[in-house]
Amino acid sequence: MHSPMHSGEPINGLSVDVEDWFQVGAFEQVIDRDSWSTLADRIERNCDAILRLFADAGVKGTFFTLGWVAERHPALMRRIVAEGHEIASHGWDHERVFRLGAKGFADDLARARAAIEDAAGAAVTGYRAPSFSIDARTPWAFEVLAEQGYAYSSSVAPIAHDHYGWREAPRFAFRPLPGSDLIEIPVTTAMFAGRRFGAGGGGFFRVLPYGFSRWAIRQVNQRDRRPAVFYFHPWEIDPEQPRVADAPMRSRLRHYTNLGVMAGKLRQLIGEFRWGRMDELAVREAARGAALAA
């Protein structure tokens, strides 16, 4: 599958945050959670397109899924697992961790995991916080994850951003708790002019030309010699999704730009670098041992 020039490079983490077009953080002020079950469900068709894309490219990845979605789509959850991908948790209904508090977070995690494991018939060992919302405001979050037996989390964006970010966090995998094996694998950042910026997906990948992402992931793989972590969403490959008219202009611009070219860019990205599941990436990172001490 991969050319020999790739063979010495790290295997990156490929991930999908499984939430529908009406569940994104940018629209939460204008779409009430109570209305979700009345809105057009696009998750099944979009995830099937992603499964085809991954199968065509011969890659496996991780699907961080909302419990709310898993409960409604058990057959899809089983298809994801049957095709060799990892099923993991993205929380219950996309409430950000810093809004939940420690007890609320524990409840959210447990409820989501039960729904996902029931639907998928597979164990969940990984977690990604909605909108990368584990940050300086949530010092209890990793303890809760460790208590519930998670092997890894990929919930930190080690940057300053208008919606999220924890700029002091390490750029690469670290052990956030002394005496625990829990590993945090932050989403990828690249360095430019001495500054970090988010380069693992989102608007950086979809809105900017593909060459920026190629440059950023090469920097991480070849200069830093570390694996990258990339994420995208099912709605990002769906140009026909319903439009949210009353959302802020900035959110609409960010959400709807380049939906039509996303699948092609993904194919290019997947073909050009090495990719795999996040749980397997966590095992390889854990083998780095003491180097991971935060």
- For Zn ion, the binding residues (CB under 5 A) are 17, 19, 130
Strand 152-153 relative to strand 12-18, pairing? unpaired
Nearest alpha-carbon partner for 256 in 238, 270, 273: 238
- Choose between 19 and 236: whose C-beta lies nearer to Zn ion: 19
Min dist CB 130 to Zn ion, Å, is 5
Closest approach, Cβ 64 to Zn ion, in A, equals 8
Q: Which of 85, 15, 14, 18 is nearest to 46 (CA)?
A: 18
Comparing every residue's Cβ against Zn ion, the nearest one is 17
127 DSSP β-pair partners:
89, 153
Nearer to Zn ion, 17 or 285 (CB): 17
Nearest-approach distance from CB 80 to Zn ion, in angstroms? 16
Q: How far apart are CA 116 and CA 98, in angstroms?
A: 22
**Choice between 30 and 294, CB closer to Zn ion:** 30
Query: Which of 130, 158, 154 lies closest to 142, judged by CA?
Result: 154
Closer to Zn ion at the Cβ: 66 or 270?
66
**Minimum distance of Zn ion from residue 207's CB (angstroms):** 17
- DSSP reduced 3-state for 87: strand
Q: Which is nearer to Zn ion, 111 or 214 (CB)?
A: 111
Shortest distance (Å) from residue 16 CB to Zn ion: 10
Nearer to Zn ion, 13 or 130 (CB): 130
* Helix ranges (DSSP H) in the chain: 43-57, 67-72, 74-82, 97-120, 141-147, 202-206, 210-218, 249-256, 262-272, 278-286
Number of H helices, E strands in the chain: 10, 10
Q: What is the DSSP letter of 177?
A: S
DSSP H or E run through 63:
strand 62-65
Instruction: Say if CB 150 and CB 125 are below 8 A apart.
Output: yes
Nearest to 205 by CA among 282, 270, 275, 130: 270
Closest CB to Zn ion among residues 69, 220: 69
- In whole angstroms, how close is the CB of 96 to Zn ion at the nearest point? 10
**Minimum distance from residue 221 beta carbon to Zn ion (Å):** 25
